[in-house]
């Protein structure tokens, strides 16, 4: 039996103040900030409160450091990274910015999170077909089903790295190879996997990737990483153009409408600097721990959680197969209504979610056995009082 043990000197629980009061097992929803992200926001706020924008140039230099750290996280180059507001904005940019024509088709998956549904459905009014592949047992998305949905009209496939309700993790490298073989573009909503699993956009042959920081990157909402493969920059039309979209954006008196040769062309105006530098602090933490070590710890904590849930009579829905498991554990408790159980856990300082008719726990690398104890105690108590 895999074990994560109790708190030890090598744990990073002190980096997450939420652990003082909560068993927080809800990183697939909105994660708590790391201490470093929290501190960096306060430093930014203090600086602007006391000095205004005197040091703004220094903060923007830090934004470029975060851009480099973001690129490192996914195996990209810094000039292929743009900072957007959220995952939805990145996916919408791809949907609206590509030169898709009537009769073209795009492929995605049924039961995706809506951020990866509505941008494509919006294209139907322009005569573009949207094909959805139905997931199978335990939410599994089969590569052969994706392949069967692609034909000569297909221009792009868009999929979530990890499915938000089932927790199923797709093999991005295999899908990327499929897309390359079929000569179509590959777009990834990475928000439910980035920060837990290694991602290499080159090896995985990903063309576009979007991920907000507020889940597994333990960063603020409103700051997202968007990746566009360098060779596709001129093919993806910016859908919002502003003063910062152009190459010489700092020269206000000279209107020179030329995009820079980088993904920064998609940043149309002033950035969420506080959110970005806070995300940078969390990225530094993740790089310090090492994504491979984060993955190992998340596997250990979810494995122990699954084993203890099963022993308690719960039915675990999420796949635990190699290459398919994720930080999301979707399950049904043997007694009580799932919605009421979720609220019962909340009253007992345990944070989980209710998704697609099931309970969903999503621990991160700093969670430990005491958090699982708290969850099981809360479920038992809530089940008896339901």
> What is the spatial distance between Cα 232 and Cα 122, in angstroms, rounded to a whole number?
22
Q: 288, 319, 343: which is the final residue of a domain?
A: 288
CATH number at residue 356: 3.90.1150.10
- Domain with 335, as residue range(s), is 13-33+291-385
pLDDT band at 11; cut points 50, 70, 90: confident
Q: Is the CB of residue 367 less than 8 Å from the CB of residue 7?
A: no
pLDDT in tens, 205-261: 999 999 999 999 999 999 999 999 999 999 999 999 999 999 999 999 999 999 999
Token representation of residue 209: 């990737």
Q: Provide the number of structural domains found in the chain.
A: 2
Shared-domain flag, residues 262 and 329: no
**Cα angle at 156 between 70 and 161, to 5 degrees?**
45
pLDDT at 60 over 60: yes
pLDDT in tens, 303-351: 999 999 999 999 999 999 999 999 999 999 998 899 999 999 999 999 9
Q: Is the CB of residue 364 less than 8 Å from the CB of residue 323?
A: no
Q: 288, 307, 334: which is the final residue of a domain?
A: 288
pTM of the predicted protein model: 0.95
Shared-domain flag, residues 127 and 263: yes
CATH number at residue 45: 3.40.640.10
pLDDT in tens, 343-373: 999 999 999 999 999 999 999 999 999 999 9
Shared-domain flag, residues 177 and 43: yes
Shared-domain flag, residues 260 and 111: yes
Residue 363 is assigned to a structural domain of this protein: yes
CA separation, residue 98 to residues 185, 267, 274, 295 (Å)? 10, 17, 31, 34
For position 10, what pLDDT does the model report? 54
Residue 173 is assigned to a structural domain of this protein: yes
Where would I find the H helices in the chain?
35-51, 56-74, 87-97, 118-121, 143-149, 172-182, 273-289, 291-311, 338-347, 369-385
pLDDT in tens, 30-39: 999 999 999 9
For position 53, what pLDDT does the model report? 96
Average pLDDT value for residue range 179-206: 98
């Amino acid at each position: 039996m895999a074990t994560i043990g109790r708190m030890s000197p090598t744990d990073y629980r002190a980096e997450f103040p939420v652990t003082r009061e909560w068993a927080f097992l809800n990183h697939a929803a909105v994660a708590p900030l790391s201490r470093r992200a929290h501190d960096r926001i306060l430093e930014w706020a203090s600086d602007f409160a006391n000095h205004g924008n005197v040091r703004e140039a220094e903060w923007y230099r830090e934004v470029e450091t975060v851009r480099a750290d973001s690129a490192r996280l996914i195996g990209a180059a810094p000039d292929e990274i743009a900072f957007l507001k959220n995952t939805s904005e990145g996916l919408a940019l791809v949907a609206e910015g590509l030169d898709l024509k009537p009769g073209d088709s795009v492929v995605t998956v049924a039961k995706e999170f809506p951020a990866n549904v509505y941008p494509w459905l919006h294209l139907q009014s322009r005569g573009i077909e949207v094909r959805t592949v139905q997931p199978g047992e335990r939410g599994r998305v089969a590569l052969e089903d994706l392949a069967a949905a692609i034909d000569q009209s297909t221009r792009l496939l868009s999929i979530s790295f990890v499915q938000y309700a089932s927790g199923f993790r797709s093999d991005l490298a295999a899908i990327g190879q499929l897309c390359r073989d079929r000569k179509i573009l590959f777009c990834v909503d990475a928000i439910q996997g980035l920060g837990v699993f290694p991602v290499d956009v080159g090896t995985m042959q990903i063309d576009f990737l979007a991920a907000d920081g507020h889940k597994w990157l333990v960063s603020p909402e409103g700051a997202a990483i968007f990746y566009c493969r360098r060779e596709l920059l001129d093919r993806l039309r910016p859908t919002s153009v502003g003063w910062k979209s152009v190459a010489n954006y700092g020269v206000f008196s000279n209107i020179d409408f030329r995009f820079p040769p980088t993904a920064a062309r998609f940043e149309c105006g002033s950035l969420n600097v506080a959110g970005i530098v806070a995300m940078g602090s969390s990225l530094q933490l993740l790089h310090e721990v090492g994504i491979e070590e984060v993955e190992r710890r998340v596997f250990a904590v979810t494995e122990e959680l699954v084993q203890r849930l099963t022993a308690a009579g719960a039915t675990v829905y999420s796949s635990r197969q190699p290459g398919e498991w994720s930080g999301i554990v979707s399950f049904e408790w043997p007694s009580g209504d799932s919605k009421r159980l979720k609220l019962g856990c909340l009253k007992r300082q345990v944070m989980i979610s209710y998704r697609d008719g099931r309970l969903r726990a999503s621990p991160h690398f700093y969670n430990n056995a005491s958090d699982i104890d708290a969850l099981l105690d809360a479920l038992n108590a809530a089940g008896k009082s339901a």
